Structure 1
Amino acid sequence: MAQLEHLSTPVDAVVSRLRALDAALPERDGVAVFNRVYLTVTEEVGRRLDAGGFPDPRAASALDVRFAERYLTAVDAAAEDRRPPACWRPLFQLRRHPGVRPLQFALAGINAHIGHDLALAVVDTCRTLGCEPADLEDEFDRVGDLLGALEERIREDLMPGPDLLQIADPLTHLLGSWSLERARDAAWSTARALWALRRLDDVAEEFADRLDAAVGFAGRILLTPLTD
């Protein structure tokens, strides 16, 4: 991601890349739906960094960029006809399916990014800054709080009207099967485990591969087509 080095801050560069994707992707494309969500989060992180809203701006910026790189690498892989990580494959494979609703695309992207990428981004950031996961806990929690607030907004903006969202609607059951708060908690525990395993390369790699596959399986469930 050398193109990120030419702008004023790494977070500005991430925002620029996300905006370019937003402009290039069709509005109803499933990846575009998630990208708009992620752009909103990253813009808010940038505003809070500028306003001094993080106790350690350098750590917060590094975590945000390492986190974004995971998603952007998956986008690049799909664009070049390479296989993205398993956690992202369902979104890229079903991005144009007419039976998948926008809210499903948004949640599937969040599932991949929080369930898999966030833990690895914490480890990447620790290696970049030469610190321990505990040193990033405040930044992790503040970014997580932003995501939690955004999840509520996503559900409000992308939820079908009350006439569509009935108890019998399958989307109701899918929404109840996934929790951002649980995913955040699991990501923090996973990051600590991967950091503890960092000198056991084979074990850490197998652990990360299993995580990738499990998150991809959950994403495929979230993207179950609900209409023809």
Structure 2
Amino acid sequence: MAHMTLDVSLDPVVARMRALDGLLDPRDGVAVFNRVYLAVTEELRDRIGRGRFPEARTATTLAAVFAGRYLAAVEAAYEGHRVPACWRPLFQYRRHPGVRPLQYALAGINAHIGHDLPLAVVASCRELSLEPAALEADFDRVGDTLVALEERIREDLMPGPDLLEVADPLTHLLGSWSLERARGAAWSSARLLWTLRAHPELAEEVTDSLDAGVGLVGRCLLTPAPCPR
């Protein structure tokens, strides 16, 4: 039964992200990602409100569950609890002087898309009593919003053209990760986890492996890349 989601809204998660934005030092790596994700969530909320998503309840549920996983990671970090492996690099390197804002943003997006999104799809399917195929259109629309905003993020956080040279390590890092590929992998992971729902031990093993793998990519994305002279 999906009655729990009739009144679902993105307003509470937007409010929590705004509150977090007010608490963090703007240079903090978590703050950098939070600003990016706040913009994404506000854009999604606006698009859903304008009727850009035919199944508004389904899209809102997916977006709210998705955002909740990031906010749960933040809460765990502040309460001293264990943070998922995919988020650990961002929290560990959040104040490193050799890591640039764009790296923080991409590392957060990597953690959220690579690990949290497939789990959010599975959780939303359970809550809405739907198969993943019923969420695929909304999944794609959410992904399209993320891709459009990633382009804006790169423009806003990209170093000046004089800094982004071929020899700059950041050039290599930027070319080594793709949101489109991450989104495709997330959908495959969601389908796999949904198929394994009758085998909880195996599903947990796959989830742990996914978490570790995404965390490793995040650590690579946060490799300190000093600006070339």
TM-score clears 0.5: yes
SS of the residue corresponding to residue 110 of structure 1 reads helix
Q: Give the Cα separation in 2 of the matches to 1:163 and 1:176.
A: 17
Q: Give the Cα separation in 1 of the matches to 2:135 and 2:8.
A: 19
2:119 counterpart residue number: 120
5+ residue gaps in structure 1?
none
2:154 counterpart residue number: 155
Q: Could you state the TM-score of these two structures normalised by the residue count of structure 1? A: 0.95
Structure 1 residue 179: Cα displacement: 0.3
The reply on whether 1:193 has 2:192 as its aligned counterpart is: yes
Structure 1 residue 10: Cα displacement: 2.4
Q: Give the Cα separation in 2 of the matches to 1:90 and 1:83.
A: 13
> Which residues in structure 2 correspond to 1:1-228 (within 5 Å)?
9-227=8-226
Contact 1:111/1:183, CA 8 A, preserved across alignment = yes
Q: Give the Cα separation in 2 of the matches to 1:164 and 1:62.
A: 41
Q: Aligned residue pairs: how many? A: 222
Structure 1 residue 26: Cα displacement: 0.5
Q: Give the Cα separation in 2 of the matches to 1:194 and 1:225.
A: 34
Q: Give the Cα separation in 2 of the matches to 1:80 and 1:9.
A: 27
Contact 1:112/1:219, CA 8 A, preserved across alignment = yes
Contact 1:174/1:222, CA 8 A, preserved across alignment = yes
Q: Give the Cα separation in 2 of the matches to 1:124 and 1:107.
A: 24
Q: Give the Cα separation in 2 of the matches to 1:51 and 1:9.
A: 16
Q: Give the Cα separation in 1 of the matches to 2:8 and 2:124.
A: 16
Distance 1:88 1:105, change over 3 A: same
CA root-mean-square deviation: 1.2
AA aligned opposite 1:209:
D
Q: Give the Cα separation in 1 of the matches to 2:126 and 2:201.
A: 18
SS of the residue corresponding to residue 10 of structure 1 reads coil
SS of the residue corresponding to residue 10 of structure 2 reads helix
SS of the residue corresponding to residue 136 of structure 1 reads helix
Q: Give the Cα separation in 1 of the matches to 2:82 and 2:220.
A: 19
SS of the residue corresponding to residue 124 of structure 2 reads helix
Which structure 1 residue ranges, 4+ long, deviate > 4 Å from structure 2? none
Contact 1:104/1:223, CA 8 A, preserved across alignment = yes
Q: Could you state the TM-score of these two structures normalised by the residue count of structure 2? A: 0.95
Identity of aligned residues (%): 69
Q: Give the Cα separation in 2 of the matches to 1:168 and 1:227.
A: 11
Contact 1:55/1:138, CA 8 A, preserved across alignment = no
Q: Give the Cα separation in 2 of the matches to 1:224 and 1:37.
A: 20
